[in-house]
Amino acid sequence: MLRRLASGEQSIGALASPFEMSFAGASKHVRFLENAGLIRRTVRGRTHMCSLDPAPLSAADEWLRFYERFWTERLDALERELNADTDKEQP
């Protein structure tokens, strides 16, 4: 659902359509995403329109990028150590 909302605002019915779920199930899922702060919902008559709130996703992306750099550096250091040990063992 989040990926679909990245292309623009959609109704709950439109969000549910590609999935095998009831409207009630989709509404419950949307409520969960809304409570998590990932989407915003506005009511227009009887239609509930949803839009993506990118701020929390941006914070998560920043956190993931930090640890991606951290682990990349650590794994590169490990690879250098393993290669150094292998070089020492060869005649």
pLDDT digits (tens, 9 = 90+) for 54-77: 888 888 889 999 999 999 999 999
pLDDT at 25 over 70: yes
What per-residue confidence (pLDDT) applies to 90? 67
CA atoms within 13 A on the CB side of 90: 6
Instruction: Return d(Cα 91, Cα 69) in angstroms, integer.
Output: 35
Instruction: Return d(Cα 62, Cα 56) in angstroms, integer.
Output: 10
What per-residue confidence (pLDDT) applies to 91? 61
Q: What share of the chain is helix, strand, coil (3-state, %, to 5)?
A: 65, 15, 20
Handedness of CA 40, 43, 48, 51 (dihedral sign): negative
Residue pLDDT, tens place only, 26-50: 999 999 999 999 999 999 999 999 9
Q: Residue type for 39, please?
A: I
Burial class of 69 by CB neighbour count within 10 A (0 to 12, 13 to 18, 19+): exposed
- Which tokens sit at 10? 């959609």
What per-residue confidence (pLDDT) applies to 75? 92
